[in-house]
Amino acid sequence: MSRSVNAREKLLDAAVTIVRSKGFAATTVDDLCAAAGVTKGAFFHHFPSKEALGVAAAEHWSKTTAALFAAAPYQQVEDPLEKLLAYLRFRRDILDGELCEFTCLVGTMLQEVYAEYPAIAAACHEAIASHAATLEPMIAAAMLARGLDPGGASTDWTASGLAIHSQVVLQGAFILAKGSGGPAIARDSVDHLTRYVRLLFASAGTVPDPSP
């Protein structure tokens, strides 16, 4: 049984790597079995279909990236706005290495299969939305500290909307990184997003600036 669990994990890890390199449709069950070093029988023991593998890969991605973020340095920052800015610095820092290493499995799958595989699309969207939800408390607390309502009663934006927007920028940054062949253009967009967050809170009133 532990060997079987192992085969499942190996197939999911293989999916993360191969789908990020060549997309979901071009990734065959044979590709996945070869990379994971398992038989086709083992594949279909764990996943009734390639679609089921896609759903499980999105959930696996969500779980492994959640662990990465839970252990990231920004979690130690107390001030909510500073914590959000530290999160963005962390996202910028990990834009490094090969494109297939720093780009996003669930954004890649969602882009390609949203119409053909609604179950995969739903799992990918859930992965992005649940990560965005981890940012909401920081943004809400930073808004409250400035007398703003996180639900948008006092602004034309909300904590949840800004959290989603941050993921929009990151997803778009991955695409342009793919187009330009490297992460520089993506880092530049994270800088724009960081500047936006600073301006948004600076325009909202008291901010860690010259005045006490």
Question: Judged by CB under 8 A, which of 44, 74, 90, 157 binds a second copy?
Answer: 157
From candidates 54, 60, 84, 107, binder to a second copy by CB under 8 A: 107
Distances (CA, A) of 96 to 23, 153, 187, 199: 20, 39, 9, 27
Cα–Cα distance measured from residue 96 to residue 92, given in angstroms and rounded to the nearest whole number: 8
- Under 8 Å CB-to-CB from 81, ≥6 apart: which residues? 138, 142, 145, 197, 201, 207, 208
Task: Select the residue interacting with a second copy from 202, 205, 206, 208 (CB under 8 A).
Answer: 202
> Does residue 114 belong to the site contacting a second copy (CB under 8 A)?
yes
Q: How far is the CB of 162 from a second copy (least distance, A)?
A: 7
Spell out, one character per residue from 182 to 201, where the chain touches a second copy: x when CB under 8 A holds, - when not. Answer: ---xx-xx-xx--xx--xx-
**Interface stretch with a second copy, choices 48-56, 87-95, 116-124, 133-141 (CB under 8 A):** 116-124
Q: Which of 89, 178, 182, 207 binds a second copy (CB under 8 A)?
A: 178
Amino acid at 161: G
Residue among 100, 119, 141, 207 that touches a second copy (CB under 8 A): 100
Q: Which value, in Å, is the radius of gyration of the alpha carbons in the chain?
A: 19
Task: Note whether 156 binds a second copy by CB under 8 A.
Answer: yes
In the complex, least distance from residue 103 CB atom to a second copy, rounded to whole angstroms = 9
CB of 1 to a second copy, least distance (A): 35
Give the separation between CA 57 and CA 15, rounded to whole angstroms. 7
Instruction: Report the interface residues with a second copy, using CB under 8 A.
Output: 21-26, 99-100, 107-108, 110-116, 121, 124-125, 128-129, 156-157, 161-162, 164-165, 167-176, 178-180, 185-186, 188-189, 191-192, 195-196, 199-200, 202-203
